[in-house]
Structure 1
Amino acid sequence: MIYDIRHVTTYGYESPVSFARCSLRLEPRSGDGQELISHTVDIRPRPADRTVRHDFFGTHTESILIETAHRNLRIDSRSRVSVSRKAPGRTAPSPAWEDVRDLAFEATSLGPSSPIGYVFASPLVPVQRPVSAYASASFPRGCGVFAGAVDLMHRIRTEFKYDPKATVISTPLAEVFEKRRGVCQDFAHVMIAGLRGLGLPAAYVSGYLRTIPPPGKPRLQGADATHAWVSLWCGVEIGWVGFDPTNDILVENDHIVLAVGRDFSDVSPVDGIIVGSRKQKLGVAVDVLLAE
């Protein structure tokens, strides 16, 4: 599959902003069944400076500096990406989850793909006893790690309600878990917290979903904006596998990876600081279409 992706972020300010410094994480990754073909970002007003780096997790991060006074900021990202990946079947065999847990804690590498970096609590994903207990119901003794994750993903999809009005980015995990409502970011955080509470390494993945589903298939939740899902390390032989608890599906060719981190705070597509006052209005529009 080859996709053309357009991701437009706009900010409108009630009063002029004299200075802005932003970090952009808008370039899709290459690797794990995905290849970036092209990528451009147009920014208005034009930045005085643009620098690029790769963070610890391997995410392409662009820092921009805007010194022109402005009341509107527009960031127009366009990418073409080739995706070809095959997920295991939902009943695929895998090592016992306890063995995977022990192997993760024995890891000696500290690189971005090492499981040890995704075992512990992170800023937006605290390890909390109620969430760990909820996840443990999917992982009886000796259960395969893959089967347990499939079951947990399914339970979140059926027991939590997709409700864009129920939460905001800053809503604490405990409140999301209590309400059983939220969006893809919330469901990914809940699943990650549950897995980490059992000692399993789980990463937060941000990216995109195919906007138009294949013929005869239902439209997926979260296709009009950036999406979020979970990547679980299932042992040395299987490696990292993507789970989408918002839609109860394994990650294959409908998902395009943008960035990977411990939680949303590591992968926010646009963040930064401005010098200004009064209110601001944010707009985000995403289109993911098959390339012609």
Structure 2
Amino acid sequence: MSTPLFVRSVSLKVRLTLALSLAFLLIFLDHRLGAMQPMRMFLNSLVSPVQYLAVMPEQALDNFISQVQSRRALIRENDLLKEEMLSLQGKMQRYEFLMLENERLRTLLASDAREDRLRMVAEVIAVDSDPFSHQVVVNKGTRHGVFIGQPVIDAQGVIGQVASVGVTTARVILISDQSHAIPTRAAESGIRVIAQGVGDTSILELMHVPHSTELQEGDLLLTSGLGGVFPEGYPVARIQTIVRDESLPFARVRAVPVANLDRIRMLLLLWDADSDHQPIRPEQEADET
């Protein structure tokens, strides 16, 4: 009996049908019974080392770049800190020199050195509703050592002075009030002028300034210390405009207050270290009681 040369094989359509049927069967079993879960875990365990080895060079490169960038940033920051330290050291040397010169001048003029001022923080709790009166009420009074005429400043410069005082509150008149005037001097030229309030928190007028004045726009005005109310050297305002109209007896000079008088919240009350008036701290009140 002879064997045929050509054996009839299974057709491609049948093979495809069997493969699809088997695939759907496996999908069904895996979905319903989780039959392929052990195989999937085995394959994941088998492939994980390969994935780790494939990602490891990229992670190593990223770590290296990060370390290099961090090192460069630290070196740059260190250089900046060194430059800043040198600058501060230079300023400190200049400050020490100025302190020595100041002491020599005071010795020459037989003038006593000014003592540091004592300070206490106060908070604005009310604003005067009268549009023609620029006054605020703070939460410190006589029980805290506040007194009438006491100078008041904030982080930028002079605010005003205490106009009236109660037991736990005090009323502060601002330098922008029409009834308030403060003696100042120009920081550059030293020219003394009176800064008068005009009822506008953004404007002060300088009184009786001659047309030939050496004042310039942009000059900073500091408290002169005259009058015995405000200590010397605190910023008050900066000159904004100078109008020299020969038809007027004096030049019209306007300045902008350094402090933001229309949105103040926290203030500083000042005392002389050797004054009869001294701040009363909460712990001192407890000792007295």
Same fold (TM over 0.5): no
| Structure with the higher fraction of residues in strand conformation | 1
> Which is bigger in relative contact order (C-alpha 8 A, separation at least 6)?
1
* Structure with the greater alpha carbon radius of gyration: 2
TM category (shorter chain) comes to under 0.3
Q: Normalising by structure 1, what TM-score?
A: 0.22
